[in-house]
Each structure stands twice: as C-alpha cells, then as structure tokens.
Structure 1
Amino acid sequence: MSSSRDYDVVIVGGGAAGTAAALTLARYTGLRVALLEKQLFDDYRAGETVSSSLFSMLDFLGVGRDLLDGAQLPAFSHAAAWGSAELMSRDAVFSSHGHGLHLDRRRYDAILLEQARLAGVALLRPAQLVQLEHGDPWRLRVASEGQETDLTARYLIDCSGKQAAIVRQRKRPIHTEDSLVALYAYYQLAEPQFLPHRTLVETTRHGWYYAAPLPGERVALAFITDADILKRLRLKEPAPWREAAADTSHVRDIVARLPAPSALRHYAIHSRVASLPADENWTAAGDAAACFDPISSLGIGQAMASGIHAARVAEAFLAGERDMAAGYRRSVFAAFETYLQMRRGFYGAEQRWRDAPFWQRRATS
C-alpha cells in the first residue's frame, strides 16, 4: 500500500539537530516540512551535560523550559583530574549564566520531536529510508507503520547523525581526524541516594572517564579512548571494566557505590567534518556535518545551532538565495578548525603519559 506526499523540506533524522531544524522552519516559515526518525528512543541514549546557553536556543525554538521537567537535573559543578591527580572543581554559582543541566537524552529528544509535531511538522516515526533519489525534487520512499510512502522534497537536510546518509549518498568528501570511541555504562540505582549534581572527568594512561548523574536515579559512566585500545583492554567485558574503574583515583569512589551496570553501550565518536555543497538542494547538520571530541563540550548545543543554521539555508535556497549555503559550508569548516586548535590545547595539558599511544596520537595531531 503506497501513498504520496509532497513537501518543501524533508529532514532525515530526529535528534537534536533535526528537531532544531524542523522547529525553526515550523515557527518562522510557511514551508511544508516532514521529519523522518527511524528510532522510537526506547534504548539507552548517551546522557549529556549542557550549559545554560541551551535555554536561549529553546526559547528561540518556542520550547518552554517547563517541558523539560523529568528530563533534566541541575548541573551545579564540573570537577576534573586532568594534567594531575588533583581534582579541580568549577562551580556554576560563579557563572553569570547559571547552572547547566544533566539531560536524559531519551526524554529530551522525545520532547522536541513532539513539539515539532505540534508545530505542524509531519512526523514519520519509526521510519526507514528505503529509497532515495536525488533530483529537483528529491524522491524518497519511506517504510513506516506497515506501509511504504513516497515523498518528494524540494530540499533535504541530512541530520542522520554519524550515519550521514545523504552526505554519503552524494559521495561528499569526509575528513576523519581520529578513531575515538566511547564505552558507556548505565546504572540504575535501586533506591535514592545522594550523588553530587556535577560532572567528573578523570584521565588515565589509556584515555579518560566521564561520569554524571541522570534523571530517574540513574548514572552514566563513560570511558573515552581509541577503538584499537578499547579492543585490546577488553573493556566491554564486565570484569575488565570494573578493574579499570577501580584503578582510578576518583572514579573508583563513584563506582564503589553503584550496582552492576544495567547496560553497556559502545558509540563511535571520531572527529570528522564533511564537505557540504554550496549550490545543491540539500545540506547537513549535527553529526552528519561535523563530529567533535566530547572534551570540547561541542555536543547537543552545537548540533542544535547547526540545525537552526541549516534550516535558514534551506529557506534561503528555496527563495532563490544561494549565498547562505556557501557561507554555511565555510562556517562548518571554520568551526572544525577552531575545534582542532582547542583540542590540541586540552590534550597538551596532560603530560603524565607521553609514552602511551592514546596521548602520543594527540600530541602530534
């Protein structure tokens, strides 16, 4: 059974970038917009700590802060043992912007998807992209809710994350900088207990740890390293995972209070940037356009900002203005170059394991 629908803009991917693009178009243009998301967000999604600057973007997108109730915890401080074993803390009370947030990404992403639907965006979820044909318009075949639907789009925005479905389909060059991965352990506490509302970062010989509380009496603990090192250390196995955490100075104090992980999830988070078109009827945003090392804190905020920018590019292109696409392309490259300089500074501050492969690779990159 097949039906056909015509849209001005179709967005592939309903994460932070995709929902930001959809809400921008829905709130500020009269364009017909569809959003495709292949997941129901019923699995674990990497939790993330964001700064209070997120609120200004949510205000722009018309998403009330009260809607985040149950999807966030206040993040009052950040503590790091980076460059030495001593733990250095920075409190949000000394920031003019106020405290940040620990987000439950499953709830947060679901909230933004629902807000996009309520704003008039046609939401297909779960939706699998079966066929994609470039042209003017684009032609898409989507499997959703037991039927295949044919869509057309005058413009396409690739927000499909690291899959970068349209970027790869159009064979655009992608520069990859490293092979970084994150192994996340998610813990569900059996009963409420006090855990500081802060992030904790600690370096080791083979990479670095990130720990943060999440809403619903949960905790996320991640180890960031390179793919070959993760495989060699066998950290996906429960015993090596516990032993490695116990061999730290600060993370071990948190792990000692936690039960066995409810789940272990492995994510590819390598740094990369795509060469986006300046004169075609599509662009990309979020991880489909550029991926960043999480130490840079260029995560959900950067994804949402790029989604908003990509929406403006789509609107301008359909109005016959092509300069904005070229400017967006340049801005993606410029942001990635700035990020690489910042990353060199972060990793250069850790000098204790200069003979270890993980740190050697970043000393010369």
Structure 2
Amino acid sequence: MDAPLDYDVVVIGGGAAGTAAALALSRYTRLRVALVERRLFEDFRAGESVSASLLSLLDYLGVPRAALAGAQLPTYSHAAAWGSGALVMRETIFSSQGNTLQLDRRRYDTILLDQAARAGVALYRPAEVVQLAHGEAWRLQLLVGGKALDLSARYLVDCSGKSALVVKKRGRPVHTEDGLVALYGYYDLGAPTFLPQQTLVETTEHGWYYVTPLPGDKVAVAFITDTDILKRLALNEADNWRAQGLATPHVGRIMARLPAPAAMRHYAIHSRVASLPDSENWTAAGDAAVCFDPISSMGIGQAVSAGIHAARVAEATLLGDTSMARQYNRSLFDNFETYLHMRQGYYAAEQRWPDAPFWQRRSKRQTR
C-alpha cells in the first residue's frame, strides 16, 4: 500500500466556508493544506443572496474582484409583503453595506475553488471520503476517479455542509431548533429578465416566498416552510407548486410570466448549532457548525467569516494554543442565541395567521 499523502490541514467541503478556510490557511500560514470536495458543482446551488460586504472578506482572502465577473448580479432594492398584504420597498442605496449581490453559486463556488488551487491548496475534486479515522493524525481514504487515495492530516476542518461529516463521526451534540425546508424553482428565461434587479419576499399562511433574479437571465423562486407542511401541500408536484405560487398577490404576478422551471430542488435548512471540541484536532465551519433561517440573511457571508476563523483555530491549535478554539466555539453559541432573538422578532411581525402551524410554531421560542 502506498504511503498516505501528508498534510497539516485537510478541509472537507469546498463551499463558501471550506474555500475561505483553505484560502486563509494558504495565504497566511506555511501549513500544507488540502481541500476535498465531492461535487463538480454541475447542479443548481442555493444560497444566492449576500451583502456586498462579502467583497471585503474576499479581498482579505486575495480573491481578485475581477475574477467574480459574471458570477454576481447587484440588486438595488428589496420588496416585502410581510405583516400585511402591502408591498414595502427598501432601496439598498441607503444601506451602509451597499447593494445586495445575487450569486450564480455554481460559478461562484467554482471560481473560489480555482483561486484556492492557484494559492497552493491541493485540491481533490470530485472526491468522496469513504473512510475517516481519528487519531493523533487523521487518516482519510478518498475515492477519486474510481481509485482509492490515502491522505493524512494533523488537523481537519469540517466544512461538509449539512452532512456534517466530522461532527457526526465524532458524535458531537447538535441542537436543532426547527424543521425548516426550502423548495426552489429555478427558471431560465433565455432572454433578458423582465424582473427589476430587486428581491421580493411575501408571506402566506403556510410560510413565505422569496424571488430573486440571478446572473445569466435566470430567476429563483423559493418557498420556505416546514417539512410536514411541504409534504401535506405536495409542493414537490409541479402543478401544486405553480398553483400555490399563483394564489399569492405579488409572487403570483411573477410566476404567471415564468416558463416551466428548469429544475426543482428541495433543501433542508433547519436552524441548528453543533457543540465543537475545545482541544481535539478538528473544528467545523459553515452549515456543518451552524445553520440559520434565510430570513436572517446570515448565509454566505457568515460562512466565509466562519471559515476564516476556523483557519485561525487550526493554526493556533497546531501551535499548541487551544484558547482560540474555546473562543470560537463560544462565539458560535452566542451568535446562534442572538440569531434566535432576531428571528423571533421577524416572525412576530406577521400576525395574520396566528392559528396556522407554521406561524404558531414561531410565535415563541422553543424551550431547550
């Protein structure tokens, strides 16, 4: 058997958090870094909306802004019918953070992976982790192009998304707050979009809709609800999906002009936070560590920031300092607690369906 390829840090997962962690380690340390990603990003990917403040984080990671050309689209206003049927507009020009950016996640994530490789990160993609053994050094067996490949790592960063590969492997406690899901319809207009460059949010009895234009004359329509409600309404069926959308005053006017969706995708987006170790040779970032309701707008930007912090934790731990890991882990729970209070405020603003299960469940915090 061939000797394993040795690295100081292996990052599992090449999404927003994983590429940030790998880039930070490569740019600011002399550690040997590898990144393992199982997909080629050929499918649609959710998490398209982000504040323009993301750009300063990408500057820190050494990603040229020109590299993202074509992968992002600015939106200049937000429209929301939340708490009443009236549509309220907010211009982003008056925001201290500037315009919101809508991302083509397939292109965006691929660009960041390419930037990581250019920065010296060893990139294994598509690669499946088939075996994972914890010890003084982690041992990983990958399946790359049908062939087994062994790696070793002094430290792991779990950025494997909601699958939380290492979190589960190590049996870490995870607190889950809700059963939220998002059902997306992706539409390819094939011509310049008729939509203004703005996002739209609209509540219904069973949840809320989110509509946004995307780069390349595409549109995403998402319905955010709970798993049991999604099943009861059978929204995975195209006719039910369209009928439910057409029944809304504002989203319905848009859906009436859309073609058949190019794809429908179902994503679990449960609010949850993992308890991470203070003194083991691994940590987690992104959805593997903490996941937020999209109404909070704590998605990609939060993941990139967490990836950068996880990189600092990895370097400090390898130097024998576990204090940064303790601070990072505490910050995850503090941020999650702040988020829950903020989320409760958002949902409390909608009082039109007090007896509907979706809104009733969010009328007060669950007890832990």
TM-score, normalisation: structure 1:
0.99
Amino acid at match of 1:121: V
Aligned to 2:276: 276
Work out whether 1:132 is the aligned partner of 2:135: no
Q: Distance in 1 between matches of 2:193 and 2:131?
A: 49
How much does 1:256 deviate? 1.3
Q: Distance in 2 between matches of 1:11 and 1:199?
A: 33
Aligned to 1:332: 332
Work out whether 1:91 is the aligned partner of 2:91: yes
Residue aligned with 1:270, SS: coil
Aligned to 2:105: 105
How much does 1:347 deviate? 0.4
Long gaps (5+) in structure 1: none
Q: Distance in 1 between matches of 2:347 and 2:12?
A: 34
Deviation readout 1:190-220 (Å, 9 max, x if unpaired) = 3223311111000000000000001111100
CA contact (8 A) 2:71 2:103 kept: yes
Matches within 5 A, 1:244-283: 244-283=244-283
Q: Distance in 1 between matches of 2:143 and 2:123?
A: 13
Residue aligned with 1:363, SS: coil
CA contact (8 A) 1:47 1:214 kept: no
CA contact (8 A) 1:47 1:104 kept: no
Aligned to 1:314: 314
How much does 1:48 deviate? 1.4
Q: Distance in 2 between matches of 1:128 and 1:49?
A: 28
CA contact (8 A) 1:2 1:148 kept: no
Q: Distance in 1 between matches of 2:193 and 2:23?
A: 37
CA distance 1:134–1:47, shift in 2 (3 Å): closer
CA contact (8 A) 1:36 1:127 kept: yes
Report the identity percentage.
67
Deviation readout 1:4-49 (Å, 9 max, x if unpaired) = 2000000000000000000000000000000000000001111511
Residue aligned with 1:362, SS: coil
Deviation readout 1:329-357 (Å, 9 max, x if unpaired) = 10000000000000000000000000100
Matches within 5 A, 1:296-315: 296-315=296-315
How much does 1:177 deviate? 0.4
Amino acid at match of 2:261: P
Deviation readout 1:306-365 (Å, 9 max, x if unpaired) = 100000000000111110001101000000000000000000000000010000000022
How much does 1:186 deviate? 0.3
Long gaps (5+) in structure 2: none
Deviation readout 1:138-162 (Å, 9 max, x if unpaired) = 1111111232111110000000000
How much does 1:249 deviate? 1.1
Q: Which moved more, 1:27-36 or 1:144-153?
A: 144-153
Q: Which moved more, 1:64-73 or 1:33-42?
A: 64-73
Residue aligned with 2:320, SS: coil
Deviation readout 1:53-84 (Å, 9 max, x if unpaired) = 10110100000111111101111111110000
Residue aligned with 2:304, SS: helix
Alignment coverage as a number of residue pairs: 365
Q: Distance in 2 between matches of 1:343 and 1:43?
A: 30
Matches within 5 A, 1:61-210: 61-210=61-210
Amino acid at match of 2:37: E
Amino acid at match of 1:132: L
How much does 1:93 deviate? 1.4
Deviation readout 1:251-294 (Å, 9 max, x if unpaired) = 01111111010110000000000000001000000000000000
Matches within 5 A, 1:35-74: 35-74=35-74
Residue aligned with 2:83, SS: coil
Deviation readout 1:218-253 (Å, 9 max, x if unpaired) = 100000000000000011111111110111010011
CA contact (8 A) 1:72 1:103 kept: yes
Amino acid at match of 1:190: G
Runs of 4+ in 1 over 4 A off after TM superposition: none
TM-score, normalisation: structure 2:
0.98
